[in-house]
Structure 1
Amino acid sequence: MEIVFPLYVLIIFFPSLLLYIFLRKNRRSPHKRAKLPPGSMGWPYIGETLQLYSQDPNVFFATKQRRYGEIFKTHILGCRCVMLASPEAARFVLVNQAHLFKPTYPKSKENLLGPSALFFHQGKYHIRLRKLVQGSLSPEAIRNLVGDIEAVAVSALDSWAGGQVIDTFQAMKKFSFEVGILAIFGHLEAHYREELKKNYSIVEKGYNSFPTKIPGTPYKKALSARKRLSKILSKIIGERKEKRSNEKDLVGCLLNSRDDKGEILTEDQIADNIIGVLFAAQDTTASVMTWILKYLHDDPKLLEAVKAEQKATSQSNEEGNHPLTWTQTRKMPITYKVILESLRIASIISFTFREAVADVEYKGYLIPKGWKVMPLFRNIHHNPEFFNNPQKFDPSRFDIVPKPYTFMPFGSGVHACPGNELAKLEMLILTHHLVTKFRWEVVGSKSGIQYSPFPVPLGGLPAKFWRESAP
């Protein structure tokens, strides 16, 4: 049977149909209309991981940015990624829309540090733990550690002196580990400190190894050492509970915390966050301090300026017969700018990992749910638009405060490093004693970078140290 529509029906129907189609199309998620960023994904599975680790990350990421712009895709470490290399994009991911991007780490790394460590989480638990960690590492808390950190620094430097060749990076790691122990436990018994150091060292070696549980492999050894760490921490926590002390170090803050329901943290939660803070406190700080030593060594004029500043402080303390004070560490402008410039040019944390929890559109590009998102701090720190002649080490550039989100050595937003004030304090204290009481000479190659995984001078910067003779 033939169906015939009157003309007036067609006149009404077709515009209505077109309007319906238009509205349906525009009701679709805008992400479905957006396109993926430009870029290349490399080989199946391995993607471009080999290219990343076979060259300076500066070159890898800078080449990508020049070719594709400030947002591009790639495939590294088994993950599909969107890279973001602008301050606006970093703020979008880390601050403005942080709820759309969760922190993410491989499960193998969570197993070693502990799944309850604060930087694996979002939401109420993260907020609670961050307040506790940040409170124990705030300027108000760490100002009481100046004398103790100074004693650790003097002891470390004395052990280096004598003209023997020192692996500077490894020496700095030992120093930053001891400072981390101070901030977490206060004055910890020597046998506990040695047991923690021994087992943590095994965990650290397995952290960046291939995650196989075959007996004898670094990762399997690390898992066993992590279990031993939990037992050691359980003993320390048990002793603290018996004493019912009200100390303000990190362990004290974690033990005495109660949530809005009156519930305390479990021992596993406390242990995971202690290990997490130790991990965050060691390698990154040690890397920066190694670079500071190199940059001062390579620039005699700058070294003399830092020496003059620190010797004036030493003289006010009767040539070091009195300990440094918190107030004095706040009045070291030249040294402080050396630290900031070292943080910028070395960019120890090249990027941070986030994962999109939903499809997200940014500047017309789709960031699919489940993809990793990586704000590239190194690219931003080395962008000549924000830092003139960015490859030159020039602390005076910090005479002017950088534009927002162009300088993020400790990250930004709710997951920014809560221990940044402690890190800067130990750098200031060590530099004070280094330049006023010691001289040093770099041995072998004075150039080159190795990644393990953080960038450090080649060979860990082998150097010889001598105590300065009294004038």
Structure 2
Amino acid sequence: MGWPYIGETLQLYSQHPNVFFAAKQKRYGEIFKTNILGCRCVMLASPEAARFVLVTHAHLFKPTYPTSKERLIGPSALFFHQGHYHMRVRKLVQSSLSLDSLRELVPHIQNLALSSMDSWPLNPLTNTFNEMKRFSFEVGILAVFGHLEPPLKEELKKNYSILDRGYNSFPTSIPGTPFKNALLARKRLDKIIRQIICERKEKKLVEKDLLGCLLSWKNENNGEILSDDEISDNIIGVLFAAQDTTASVMTWIVKYLHDDPKLLEAVMAEQKAIHRSNDDGKRPLTWNQTRSMQVTYKVVLESLRMASIISFSFREAVADVEYKGFLIPKGWKAMPLFRNIHHNPDFFPDPQKFNPSRFEVAPKPNTFMPFGSGVHACPGNELAKLEMLIMIHHLVTKFRWEVVGPQCGIQYGPFPVPVNGLPARFWRESQSTS
């Protein structure tokens, strides 16, 4: 269980996560206990165990987060809940991100990708992760609010950035600390969102974006609607979920393509054919074209597997639970280890090799869960994948790049990203070869 209180947290965050988890599994098997972040945990490294906790016996395991995280995002955010309220809000989020809604977002996401990438060649060195965060946050704002006035958007960005910096800091209310600054930024964010809610209500606007879906919900039986508190918390929660995870995967994609010239060539060939069919980029990408990117889509799936941005999920046993003769005591965390499953050679041969062709055959059930599983699986997974496909299209048809500095190494913030955010030099491909 490691040291008192801190347990094995330092071991986990000071080395490659594959090394930590694989060593534990090799020594103890696919079910083992440890102490991470001050929590007593049972870790479960098999597809059957993940399904047990997340799907078939999900009612025995509640989602759990430290109180400090709930304060910064908002206690009404859907991923802190289970039961009727969770299902109601989840359906609203899903309806705002339906395939029909995403189809309409394609040209707008494309415009955001182009404007985000414009500055890359102007910098002597670009922090890839920071740029991907900027892009994914813009997409998040688009999905939540549709088109916002620039001053409002800037205020949202500025305050969200302060909240983001304090999210994983030590939770203290001492003035000037990152956490205290984040709490103050959270209040300002709430005020901005309430201002937008008020304007929508006054103008009686009916929009298909997330805010529109949350505002228009009404219980048919008793006329109940969502409170402004509930709407604000869920908007901040979705903005949080939309940014770092997607940005991390897109950063890894840039690295994986850079490291494999043959694969980059194959992706480039597929994307340049689409580029040519769009009159050399004069016409925008279409939804159907994003659905036809077979080589690129497999690269996205393999990047999700290799990077395993969400290494595990936290659930808490609400009662003593027995699984395969092991007791998971009430109050302990049960943690399905997605990373171990994604890197298990029984399910993915030669798992350390980046090989998109492995997705020519569908993975075995419950062996590929980059967006989680069950009632708490990420409702924005299709938006995230669409974002990645559009980003790759413009990256490989318009740019070339070179990674600068260390070619390997991982850092955490808290999600694993290439060391130093993958510094790279980007330059535009000459018109003659486009």
- Which TM-score tier does this pair reach, normalised by the shorter chain? over 0.9
1:416 match: 377
Select the residue among 39, 45, 50 that pairs with 1:85.
45
Please, which of 144, 167, 171 is the counterpart of residue 184 of structure 1?
A: 144
- Contact 1:382–1:391 at 8 Å: present in 2 too? yes
Runs of 4+ in 1 over 4 A off after TM superposition: none
Q: 1:258 aligns to what SS in structure 2?
A: coil
Of 370, 383, 392, the match for 2:331:
370
Mapped to 2, the partners of 1:449 and 1:55 lie a distance apart of 8
Tell me the secondary structure at the aligned position of residue 73 of structure 1.
strand
Which secondary structure does the structure 1 equivalent of 2:390 belong to? helix
Which residues in structure 2 correspond to 1:356-395 (within 5 Å)?
356-395=317-356
CA distance in 2, matches of 1:110, 1:78: 17
C-alpha RMSD of matched pairs (Å): 0.7
Residue number in structure 1 paired with 2:279: 318
Candidates 145, 156, 181, aligned match of 2:116: 156
SS in 2 for 1:161: helix
Q: What is the rounded CA distance, in whole Å, between the counterparts of 2:17 and 2:260 in structure 1?
A: 25
What is the CA deviation profile of residues 73-106 of structure 1, one whole-angstrom value per residue up to 9, with x for unaligned ones?
A: 1111111100000000000000000000000000
Counterpart Cα distance in 2 of 1:352 and 1:338: 24
Q: Which residue of 2 aligns with 1:34?
A: none
Q: 2 CA distance for matches of 1:363 and 1:268?
A: 42
Pick aligned residue for 1:271 from 228, 232, 250: 232
1:171-207 CA distance string (max 9 Å, x none): 0000000000000000011011000000000111111
Q: Deviations over 1:290-322 (max 9, x none)?
A: 000000011111001000000110111100111
- Aligned-partner SS, 1:246: coil
Instruction: Write the distance in 2 (CA, Å) between the matches of 1:437 and 1:52.
Output: 39
Mark the runs of 5 or more structure 2 residues left unpaired by the alignment. Answer: none
In the comparison of the two structures, how many residue pairs are matched?
431
Return the letter of the residue paired with 1:290.
T
* Residue number in structure 1 paired with 2:365: 404
Counterparts in 2 of 1:336-351, with a 5 A limit? 336-351=297-312
CA distance in 2, matches of 1:238, 1:204: 25
Instruction: Give 1:307's match in structure 2, choosing from 264, 268, 277.
Output: 268
Based on CA coordinates, which of the two structures has the bigger radius of gyration? 1
Residue 222 of structure 1 corresponds to 182
Q: How much identity, in percent, do the aligned residues show?
A: 76
**Residues 134, 419 of structure 1: 8 Å contact kept:** yes
Contact 1:162 1:467 in 2 (8 A): no
DSSP-derived class of the 1:397 partner:
helix
Structure 1 residue 162, shift from structure 2 partner: 3.0
- Please point out which of 243, 249, 255 is paired with 1:294: 255
Alpha-carbon offset, residue 442 of structure 1: 0.7
1:136 equivalent to 2:96? Answer yes
Tell me if the contact between 1:163 and 1:466 (Cα under 8 Å) persists in the aligned partners.
no
The 1-side partners of 2:350 and 2:266 are apart by 22
Q: Which residue of 2 aligns with 1:94?
A: 54
Q: Look up the equivalent residue of 2:5 and give its one-letter code.
A: Y
State which drifts further: 275-284 or 251-260. Answer: 251-260
1:244 corresponds in structure 2 to 204
- 1:74 & 1:226 partners in 2: Cα distance? 33
Question: Deviation per CA, 1:424-444, whole angstroms, max 9, x where unpaired?
Answer: 001000100110111111111
Q: Distance in 1 between matches of 2:10 and 2:414?
A: 14
TM-aligned CA deviation for residue 452 of structure 1: 1.1
**How far apart in 1 are the matches of 2:14 and 2:407?**
21
**Cα distance in 2, alignment partners of residues 46 and 425 from structure 1:** 39
Q: Give structure 1 stretches of 5+ with no counterpart.
A: 1-40
Equivalent in the alignment of 1:51: 11
Q: Report the AA paired with residue 423 of structure 1.
A: A
Could you tell me which of 432, 438, 449 is aligned with 2:410? Answer: 449
Structure 1 length-normalised TM: 0.91
Task: Give the C-alpha shift of residue 164 in structure 1.
Answer: 1.8
Alpha-carbon contact 1:100-1:358 (below 8 Å) kept: yes
How far the C-alpha of 1:42 sits from its partner, in A, is 1.4
Choose which of 192, 199, 222 in structure 1 pairs with 2:159.
Answer: 199
Per-residue deviation, 1:415: 0.2
1:285 aligns with 2:246: yes
Deviates more, 1:329-338 or 1:257-266: 257-266
User: Aligned AA for 2:179?
Assistant: Y
Contact 1:347–1:409 at 8 Å: present in 2 too?
A: yes
Per-residue deviation, 1:163: 5.3
Separation in 1 of the partners of 2:119 and 2:387?
A: 17
TM-score with structure 2 setting the length: 0.98
